[in-house]
Amino acid sequence: MPQNAPYSRPVKHRYHGKDVEVRHPKVELTGEQFLTGLRFLDNACETHTLNVLFSKGREGERVYELFGKLLSIADRLGGCWWGCDPTKHPVTYLIMRTVGVSRGAIRLMQFGMYDEALTLVRTAGEAANLLMLVERDPASYQEWETGVRLRKKSKLTPLVVRQRLNKLNISSPIHPNRYARLSELVHAAAPVMPQHYSNDTQPRVGGMYQEVGATLVLYELGLAMSLVTAAATKLLMSPGAARRLMRRTVVELADAMLPVCDPPIADDWPIATRMAREAAPTK
C-alpha cells in the first residue's frame, strides 16, 4: 500500500446485528503491489504472533517448543530415521503427508490465516482416525495396506473409518461433531463467517493476529498430531527409547496446552495421553 493513500469516507457494514465502520483506501494498486502488501501483512503477523503468543515467559512458549518436538518425532518416523521396513511404508507415507499439512497449518496460523490452517488440521485428523483404526484392527490394516500397494482407490473413506471406530468402541477425539465443524470451513456454502475470531463481529482474512484463532489452531493441530504420532509409533517402532520419547512429548504437550486453551471437550487429551502411555508403558 503506498504511504499517505487517500481513504474513502467511513462505510457502514452490518454483521450479525452490529454496525461496524470501515474506510477503504482509494487507490488502484497494481497486482504486484497488492501481492507485496499481502506478504508484508502476513510476515508482520507472523512476527507479532511469535513475539506475543510464543515469547519467552509466556505459557505458549512451552506449547510451541513441545509441538515442534512432536513434529520432529513424526518427521523422523515418516523418514524411517529409526530404521526402514519397506512393508510399513503405507504408514510412513501417511505420516509424512501429515507432517506436510502440519507444517502448512502452523505457518498459515502464524500468518493469521486461521480458517485455512484448520482445513489442513482436518486432514491431520483424518490421518489420526485411520491410524487409530488400523493400529487396533488387523483386517482394516490389511485392507488399507493392500489398497496402497496396488494403488487402488481406498474404501476407507473418513466416514467409513469413523463408522468402524464406532463399531469397535474405539474413542477418537476426531468424532463426527468435530469433523463436521472442521469440514464446514472447507466448503463454499459454509454458513459461518470467515476468520471470525474477534469479538467485534468483523471478519478478517489473513495478516491480522487474533489470539483465539491462533490458540484454536494450535490446540486442534497439537491434538491431531499427538494421536497420529502415538498410533504411528506403535505401528512402526519396537518398544524402546523412541516410544518413550513420544510418550513424554505427548504427555507434556497435553499439560502445557491446558493453561493456553480451554479444552472444548474434556476427553480430548486424556485419549491422546492414554494412547501414548499404552505405546510406551512405564515399568
Contact residues for Zn ion, defined by CB under 5 A? 80, 84
Q: Tell me the C-alpha distance between 5 and 10, whole Å.
A: 15
- Residue 246 near residue 277, CB atoms below 8 Å: no
In whole angstroms, the minimum distance from the beta carbon of 84 to Zn ion comes to 3
Residue 194 has which C-alpha cell? Answer: 470467515
- Beta-carbon contacts of 249 under 8 Å, excluding residues fewer than 6 positions away, are 66, 69, 70, 73, 229
Nearer to Zn ion, 80 or 96 (CB): 80
Smallest distance, Å, CB 231 to Zn ion? 18
**In the bound complex, what is the minimum distance in angstroms from residue 102's beta carbon to Zn ion?**
20
| Nearest distance from C-beta of residue 95 to Zn ion, angstroms | 11
Torsion 116-102-125-97 (CA) sign: positive
- Considering beta carbons, is residue 182 or 232 the nearer one to Zn ion? 232
Least distance in angstroms from the C-beta of 101 to Zn ion: 20
Q: Which is nearer to Zn ion, 80 or 186 (CB)?
A: 80
List, as own/partner pairs, every contact residues 2-5 make where C-beta atoms lie below 8 angstroms and the sequence separation is at least 24, other chains included. Answer: 2/27, 2/33
195 touches 206 (CB < 8 A)? yes
CB 236 to Zn ion: min, Å = 10
The neighbouring-strand residues paired with 15 are 18
Closer residue to Zn ion in complex, CB, 48/97: 97
Give DSSP secondary structure letters for 177-198. HHHHHHHHTTSTT-SS-TT--S
Q: Which cell goes with 93?
A: 507415507
Sign of CA dihedral 266, 269, 272, 276: negative
Nearer to Zn ion, 204 or 234 (CB): 234
Q: What minimum distance in Å lies between the beta carbon of 81 and Zn ion?
A: 9
90 vs 147, beta carbon nearer Zn ion: 90
Name the residue among 221, 218, 222, 244 with its Cα closest to residue 233: 244
Residue nearer to Zn ion on the CB measure, 100 or 203: 100
